[in-house]
Amino acid sequence: MAITEKPEVTFGRITEEGLAKMRAAFGKPYYMIRQNEVASKDAIRQFCNGIGDPNPLFRNADYALRTRWGHIIAPPMFLYAVACPQGMEGLPGVHAFYCGCNWEWHKPIHVNDELTCVDVPIDLVEKQGRMGGRQFLQLGRTIYYNQRGEVVATQKRETMRVERQEATERGKYSGVTKHKYTAEELRRVDEGYENEEIRGANPRFWEDVNIGDALKPVIKGPLAHTDMVEFWVGIGGGQGAHGIRRQYMKKHPKWGVKDPETGAIEPMADVHYESSKSDAIGVPVAYDLGMQRFSWAGHLFTNWMGDEGFLKKLSARCTRFNVFGDTQFIHGTVINKYQEGHEYLVDIEMKTLNQRGEETMPGKATVSLPSKVMWV
């Protein structure tokens, strides 16, 4: 007989006591558990596979030997495969949507670098939203170091905390369904993939860039189970499997959801695989992860800047859900170019549209490019 019950979800509440506990932790740094402690050749390749990035600089040692780096480097967003603070501390049973990133990179990530990560909670900002009524934007600052003690990058993270019951009752996303593609729509997606361009060994000089230039778009989708599995493999996994997962769920019971067919408690991360689980918190179709979509944004800029470029900054925000069946078309437009000291910089505005033409992830990046003045 078919099971029609919904999964049982812990409906936590935003309480003054819970908020006070979180505020008491402001400014107190803690070291994150790392998924990947070393940026090994295999770890970098698996991350790139997980976001669909074939750039040879990140995976081909013979190719990388002939670049300015002299060896494989990791894409900037590989740091999500080291550790990804998502603002899930505190308020058990209150859902966490990692919705905004503000990255700044200071050093490249070389193959075999050993990386550590420190996170510092810094603020809670009360919001009112159509999805969950009273909700809080949780802010933190993350710092990544290499084995030489150098700061590789910093990130200011943004996570929206929403009461699951309130989100379910309000039903803001109750009309969301999987998209049924026409033959023409699928042709457009295929053409998008075929037209992606990796600048690679052909330097993109600052002098040749003009305000208004469009970047070759990057396409991601239609989103499916395999994409999600490959991404989890690429970042080094989640809460573990079997006995390891069970121990995690015993330690964090309010992050769990009871499967109506088995009666077993599973991690809330299942909202990214099973629509029955995501529907229980007000999103009828399973959806992607914020760090996954932000990694796709990084792919756009590393494709465009080439081997000689360096991604300095990236800020982005997820403004709509990207559910199974959706396709994201990630665009960029040059909006400024300037010189700071010995660096030649370009600002780029990012715009992400799904197959329905809805904007899902706006953002902005700053790229350092080689200059003909400095080129020898």
Residue 295 placed within a domain? yes
Structure tokens at 99: 């919705």
Return d(Cα 6, Cα 22) in angstroms, integer: 31
The reported pLDDT for the residue numbered 5 is: 67
**Is the separation of the CB atoms in 162 and 131 below 8 Å?**
yes
Residue 309 placed within a domain? yes
Residue 74 placed within a domain? yes
Query: 208 in helix, strand or coil?
Result: helix
The reported pLDDT for the residue numbered 7 is: 76
Return d(Cα 290, Cα 302) in angstroms, integer: 19
DSSP 83: -
Single out the residue of 142, 58, 59, 171 nearest to residue 108, CA to CA: 58
Question: What is the amino acid identity at position 60?
Answer: N
Provide the Cα torsion 255, 245, 146, 338; round to 10°. -50
Residue 374 placed within a domain? no
**Is the separation of the CB atoms in 80 and 90 below 8 Å?**
no
41-51 and 225-235 are packed helices; what angle lies between their axes, rounded to 10 degrees?
160
CB atoms within 10 A of CB 184: 7
DSSP 271: G
**Is the separation of the CB atoms in 87 and 98 below 8 Å?**
yes
The reported pLDDT for the residue numbered 262 is: 85
CB atoms within 10 A of CB 21: 13
The CATH number for 138's domain is: 3.10.129.10
The reported pLDDT for the residue numbered 128 is: 83
Q: How many domains does the chain have?
A: 1
Query: For 20, phi and psi rounded to 5 degrees?
Result: -65, -40
Measured over the CA atoms of residue 52, residue 360, residue 216 and residue 309, the dihedral's sign is negative
User: Could you list the residue range(s) of the whole structural domain that residue 257 is in?
Assistant: 8-369
Residue 148, Ramachandran bin (φ over 0: left; ψ between -120 and 50: alpha; else beta)? alpha
Residue 376 placed within a domain? no
Rg from Cα positions in the chain: 21
The reported pLDDT for the residue numbered 132 is: 66
Residue 2 placed within a domain? no
Write out the H or E segment, with its range, that includes residue 126. strand 115-129
Query: For 77, phi and psi rounded to 5 degrees?
Result: -75, 0
Query: 376 in helix, strand or coil?
Result: coil
Q: For every one of its 376 residues, what pLDDT tens digit does the chain have, with 9 covering 90 and above?
A: 344 566 777 777 889 999 999 999 999 998 888 999 999 999 999 999 999 999 999 999 999 999 999 999 999 999 999 998 877 778 888 888 999 999 999 999 999 999 999 999 999 999 887 766 789 999 999 999 999 999 999 999 999 998 877 767 666 777 889 999 999 999 999 999 999 999 999 999 999 999 999 999 999 999 999 999 999 999 998 778 888 888 877 877 777 777 888 888 788 788 888 888 888 778 899 999 999 999 999 999 999 999 999 999 999 999 999 999 999 999 999 999 999 999 999 999 999 999 999 999 999 999 999 999 987 6
Residue 261 placed within a domain? yes
The reported pLDDT for the residue numbered 3 is: 46
Residue 375 placed within a domain? no
